[in-house]
Amino acid sequence: MTLPTPAGPAHAVVTPEDGVLHLFGWHDPVDNLPRLAPHLRDRGVQTATGPERVRDAVARYGDGELAALDELAVGQPGGAFFQAAWLAMRRIAPGHPVTYTTLAADAGRPAAVRAAASACARNLVALVVPCHRVVRTDGGLGGFYYGLDVKRALQAHEARFA
């Protein structure tokens, strides 16, 4: 499904049987689908309007209800540290970015700053697992898989409503 966001149209991949989000991003879906886990990719992807609760949560986020995405279930493959880092990202307050160093500590491994950055880079459900809220120690944006313009747009949106 394609959804409007403050950073432009994004697509989402949701398993219909459980409503779990497995991919959310701004690249062309054909280019982004190879990032899915093979067992999901092999099922095939169908274009659909998707679950109403996903559409509704993203719309409410766009309208300024920044916590609306918290209710969405996500699933992505990764080891224990990545899972902890993605959970820690979901606890970052909108409009209040944290550093990769802080993310590593919040994920339980303060020395794993590079691994924290890698968790951001491998995050398949950007926006819902808000890796755009993680910045460098010097305040610079760092990287973002979907481009720094998307990261800036999301941070500016959240700063308006935080």
Catalytic residues, by residue number, are 131
Q: Give ∠ CA 39-143-47 in degrees, rounded to 5.
A: 35
Residue 21: its H or E element: strand 21-25
**Is the distance from CB of 41 to CB of 54 less than 8 angstroms?**
no
How many C-beta atoms surround the C-beta of residue 80 within 10 A?
Answer: 10
